[in-house]
């Protein structure tokens, strides 16, 4: 994995059609402070506005650690300063919402510990790929805290209510196999294969229509928000796709036995 040498705590890089959003705070195991949370929406916006970027991957520049969670050194100030506490809450919510609302596919590439705020950040992505050494936990119950509704909803949508209760009630750390069995992560692989597997999966997405992926993501989000049946909007999307350039290119490529150029 090629990592840029920089002192920035979080940064964005572009590799052809892939944007890499990278956590880079090795001295604190990527513990997320308010400045890192605040930086995320603008970085995500840059990737959103770049028409060449088709996928965003959240990763760590620190070997064998994804994110240790929130920066506990800030908590003493939050205990005494309600305004600072609320600023931090707003920053966390804006960061997670920016990732969740990104219109293109997002993946979290997880090596090592993925705990607390790091886990919630990963859950804001569409999919999560972890290595066999990765570990997961959401631990506010150990600190007498309660996560927000949006953060809890992201967890529940992935693992269901029973596993959500288990993860939050117990505040325990679970291994990669258990996380995969719960549906918390999509795939587990050997540490040496993690980046290759993520890149191979991105290759599958890049071979498909960007229009299809964008509309699929919209439809899933509408279903999650409570829409249960087709309506004028979804039917128009279905019908109009037949007239789109991606459909024409896909059919022509299929008939002529070539790879489509999306």
Which stretch of 48-52, 77-81, 85-89, 193-197 has the lowest confidence by average pLDDT? 77-81
Any domain includes 144: yes
CB 48 within 8 A of CB 103: yes
Instruction: For residues 75 and 34, give the distance between their C-alpha atoms in angstroms, rounded to a whole number.
Output: 11
Q: How are the residues of the chain apportioned to helix, strand and coil, as percentages rounded to the nearest 5? A: 55, 15, 30
CB 123 within 8 A of CB 158: yes
Tell me, yes or no, whether 100 and 128 share the same domain: yes
Tell me: the pLDDT tens digits for 210-220? 999 999 999 99
**Domain residues for 190?**
10-206
Tell me: the pLDDT tens digits for 9-50? 999 999 999 999 999 999 999 999 999 999 999 999 999 999
Tell me, yes or no, whether 57 and 107 share the same domain: yes
Residue carrying the six token digits 């209510």? 161
pLDDT at 1 over 70: no
Instruction: For residues 136 and 168, give the distance between their C-alpha atoms in angstroms, rounded to a whole number.
Output: 11
Domain end marker among 186, 206, 226? 206
| 3-class secondary-structure state, position 215 | helix
Query: Domain tally for the chain?
Result: 2
Tell me, yes or no, whether 199 and 244 share the same domain: no
Name the helix (H) or strand (E) containing 92. Answer: helix 82-101
pLDDT at 69 over 90: yes
Average pLDDT over residues 155-171: 98
Tell me, yes or no, whether 100 and 70 share the same domain: yes
């Amino acid at each position: 994995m090629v990592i840029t040498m920089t002192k920035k705590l979080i940064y964005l890089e572009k590799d052809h059609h892939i944007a890499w959003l990278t956590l880079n705070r090795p001295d604190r195991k990527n513990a997320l402070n308010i400045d890192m949370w605040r930086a995320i929406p603008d970085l995500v916006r840059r990737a959103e506005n770049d028409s060449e970027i088709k996928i965003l991957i959240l990763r760590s520049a620190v070997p064998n650690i994804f994110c240790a969670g929130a920066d506990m050194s800030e908590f003493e100030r939050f205990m005494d300063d309600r305004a600072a506490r609320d600023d931090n809450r707003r920053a966390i919510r804006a960061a997670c919402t920016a990732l969740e609302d990104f219109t293109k596919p997002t993946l979290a590439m997880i090596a090592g510990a993925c705990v607390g705020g790091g886990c919630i950040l990963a859950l804001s992505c569409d999919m999560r790929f972890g290595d066999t050494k990765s570990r997961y936990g959401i631990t506010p119950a150990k600190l007498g805290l309660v996560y927000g509704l949006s953060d809890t909803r992201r967890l529940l949508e992935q693992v269901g209510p029973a596993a959500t209760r288990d993860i939050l009630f117990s505040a325990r750390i679970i291994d990669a196999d258990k996380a995969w069995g719960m549906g918390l992560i999509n795939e587990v692989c050997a540490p040496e294969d993690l980046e290759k597997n993520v890149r191979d999966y991105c290759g599958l997405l890049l071979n498909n229509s960007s229009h299809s992926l964008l509309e699929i993501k919209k439809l899933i989000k509408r279903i999650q928000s409570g829409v249960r049946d087709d309506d004028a909007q979804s039917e128009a999307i279905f019908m109009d796709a037949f007239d789109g350039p991606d459909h024409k290119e896909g059919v022509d490529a299929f008939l002529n036995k070539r790879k489509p150029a999306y």
